[in-house]
């Protein structure tokens, strides 16, 4: 199995809805995103994924989130902006790109040092 990853960053604020129905205080993070692609056999060029194409796609997704409140961001509409959900939304946005869909395996977001969440494709 081969893996290849690309990374991006964005700055965004959020307020997570808590189990008691309250919202945590509005706060921001410099989010780091790692998208990982995997396959059993490399393509004819010896790639898991074209890094340039993957970086461009991830940058477009990160740009949609950059300098926003995730609670009000269009791609997060109706979702509780936990790190786990942010990872899933970024994964889903990347999976819309046909060139990436077949090898996209997981997306990890880190909202603060030592605090990350990963969404993994269950094939």
In a domain, 50, yes or no: yes
In a domain, 105, yes or no: yes
In a domain, 58, yes or no: yes
In a domain, 110, yes or no: yes
Closest CA relative to residue 8, chosen from 51, 39, 69: 51
Closest CA relative to residue 12, chosen from 74, 56, 57: 74
> Who contacts 65 (Cβ-Cβ below 8 Å, separation ≥6)?
10, 12, 31, 73, 75, 76, 86, 90
In a domain, 20, yes or no: no
In a domain, 22, yes or no: no
SS (H, E, C) 10-26: EEEEECCECCCCCECCC
| Domains identified in the chain, total number | 1
Give pLDDT tens digits along the chain (123 positions).
999 999 999 999 999 999 999 999 999 999 999 999 999 999 999 999 999 999 999 999 999 999 999 999 999 999 999 999 999 999 999 999 988 888 999 999 999 999 999 999 986
- Please give the residue range of the domain that contains residue 100: 2-14+27-120
Q: What is the CATH number of the domain that holds 82?
A: 3.30.479.10
């Amino acid at each position: 199995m081969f893996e290849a990853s690309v990374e991006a960053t964005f700055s965004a604020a959020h307020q997570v809805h808590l189990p008691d129905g309250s919202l945590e205080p509005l706060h921001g993070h410099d989010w780091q995103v790692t998208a990982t692609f995997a396959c059993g056999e490399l393509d004819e060029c010896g790639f898991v994924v074209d890094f340039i194409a993957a970086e461009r796609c991830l940058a477009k997704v990160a740009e949609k989130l950059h300098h926003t409140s995730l609670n009000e961001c269009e791609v997060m509409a109706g979702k509780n902006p936990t790190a786990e959900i942010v990872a899933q939304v970024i994964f889903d946005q990347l999976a819309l790109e046909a060139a990436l869909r077949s090898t996209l395996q997981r997306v990890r977001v880190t909202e603060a040092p030592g605090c990350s969440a990963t969404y993994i494709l269950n094939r």
